[in-house]
Amino acid sequence: MPHPWDRYSTGSGSLAPFHPAARVWLPDDFFWDSADYFSPVGNDVGADVLNGYREWRRAHGSEGRHEYLKSLLIKWGIPADWDQPGPGETHLIEGDDFVRATGDRAIVAFAFAQIMVDGHVDRYSLDRAIRAVERQRAGAGADAGRFRARREVYEGWISSYDRTAAALLRLVESESR
């Protein structure tokens, strides 16, 4: 029986199945659940990144894949290198919540989109996604301490960030073998 993600579709119709290697790297249904807000591709940003990346790959092939994320971030009003050391780092220091939250979700979703579509993720995107998940988790942990009444919500976020980070770290470990 085919797995639900083999029938993945968008409003524009059915799409081809994901890369077979993606099922090996991401066996947990959590990563494929487009209705789970905490899934890397389940929130609006993640779904947009995944669907857009699939279309980008059809039109452009594998060359220049980073141009896709760069152009998407700029379209959303986010500096393409906002999370990189140097001038872009000021966005993190200034605490622009939109840039941080949307940028981190896009970076994580882009790494997962590469895994799902291409069957692998390049090291630059992988490292960037790991740093983004670390920032997301730290933010949720700090908020859980401040907003005790909503602690369950933040603990759910932390759990999802931990699962996401574990999947990314498995990829790092496989590269080092």
Residues of the chain predicted below pLDDT 50: 1-15, 88, 90-91, 93, 144
Q: Please tell me the pTM assigned to this model.
A: 0.77
In the beta sheet, which residues pair with residue 14? 9
Q: Please state, rounded to an integer, the average pLDDT across all residues of the chain.
A: 77
Cα distance between residue 61 and residue 167, in whole Å: 25
Over residues 132-143, the pLDDT tens digits come to 888 887 766 555
| DSSP tally for the chain: helices H, then strands E | 7, 2
Helix (H, G, I), strand (E, B) or coil at 14: strand
Q: What is the pLDDT of residue 83?
A: 81
Over residues 153-166, the pLDDT tens digits come to 555 555 676 777 77
Q: What is the pLDDT of residue 9?
A: 44
At 39, the amino acid letter reads S
Cα distance between residue 164 and residue 25, in whole Å: 12
Query: What are the DSSP calls for 106-175, one per residue?
Result: HHHHHHHHHHHHHSS--HHHHHHHHHHHHHHHHHHHHHHHH-GGGHHHHHHHHHHHHHHHHHHHHHHHHH
